[in-house]
Amino acid sequence: MTIMQYWIVGWIAVGVFAIFAMTWLIGLITDQPSLRFFCDFLMVIALFGMLVGFGGRYKQIRLANARKEAAALKRKKLTKAETAFKDRAQEAYDLISSSSSDISGSWSKAVSDAKKAAKKAKTSKSKGKTKKTTPKTVSPSEAVSSAFKKHKDDIAKAQKLLTGQKTYLTRIYQYGAKANYQKYQTAEKKEVAYYNAVVSINKLTLPKYQEKVKTAKAEYLAAWKLLINS
């Protein structure tokens, strides 16, 4: 029964009680014990009806308030989980992007310096010039290794942030964002793919590495845009 239905039952019982209370008084005045007994019986039933009606209404109001409080708490927890997920995702993205830019830039510079050095050596040899001492150039592998060491802490922190996102995904699902859960999940997967693209360079040339990172980044940003606009 609804709150209104309980309220109606309670007031109907009040009306019944009032009618038979007056009838009981008439029986008292006219000295009719059987009428008073009948009224006593019906007034007890009316009192029970009032107890059920008003007591049930009070209980339903308490339950409704409890449900509202639970829903408000759930929304608060959901908002907190969503905010934490987005903040962690943004922090991880900044760390990954910074590391990617430095790794790609160092690699590109090393390749460019190596080409210039090789071209200069070839020109000097063709002209028959005596070889002079030239500044040592950093090989691409050394440059990449140095960049990874430089961003070791950033990469480790980004990995930790991404690993912890599973916890917030679970909370988001539990707290009721089932409609947008798929978008959160997709964004998380695409950011992990972006991270993996940045830290995986085995057997890749610079152009292939840059293309792989660019594609992974674009896919993540597209998923992130869908999530933010949802």
Rounded to two decimals, the pTM is 0.71
Query: Considering the domain boundaries, does residue 195 fall inside one?
Result: yes
On whether both 10 and 99 belong to a single domain, the answer is no
Query: How far is residue 142's CA from residue 41's CA, in Å, rounded to a whole number?
Result: 100
Q: For residue 123, is it within any domain?
A: no
> In this structure, are 41 and 154 located in the same domain?
no
State whether 84 and 65 are in the same domain: no
Q: For 180-199, what is the mean pLDDT?
A: 92
Residue 123 burial (10 A CB sphere; 0-12, 13-18, 19+): exposed
Same domain? 52 vs 85 = no
Look at residues 42, 69, 96 and tell me which one is the last residue of a structural domain: 69
Window from 98-102, 133-137, 218-222 with minimum mean pLDDT = 133-137
Give which of 160, 157, 226, 154 is closest to 190, Cα–Cα.
226
Residue 133 lies inside a defined structural domain of this protein:
no
State whether 28 and 86 are in the same domain: no
Residue where a domain stops, chosen among 69, 102, 126: 69
Say if residue 97 is in the same domain as residue 201: yes
In a shared domain, residues 61 and 81: no
Residue 126 forms part of a structural domain = no
- Structural domain contains residue 64: yes
pLDDT value, residue 136: 62
Residue range of the domain that includes 85:
74-115+138-229
pLDDT digits (tens, 9 = 90+) for 89-111: 999 999 999 999 999 898 888 88
pLDDT at 13 over 90: no
Burial class (CB in 10 A: 0-12, 13-18, 19+), 153: exposed
In angstroms, the CA 116 to CA 110 distance is 10
- Tell me whether residue 191 is in a domain: yes
Q: Number of structural domains, the chain?
A: 2
Q: Is residue 27 part of a domain?
A: yes
Element holding 124 (H helix, E strand): helix 33-126
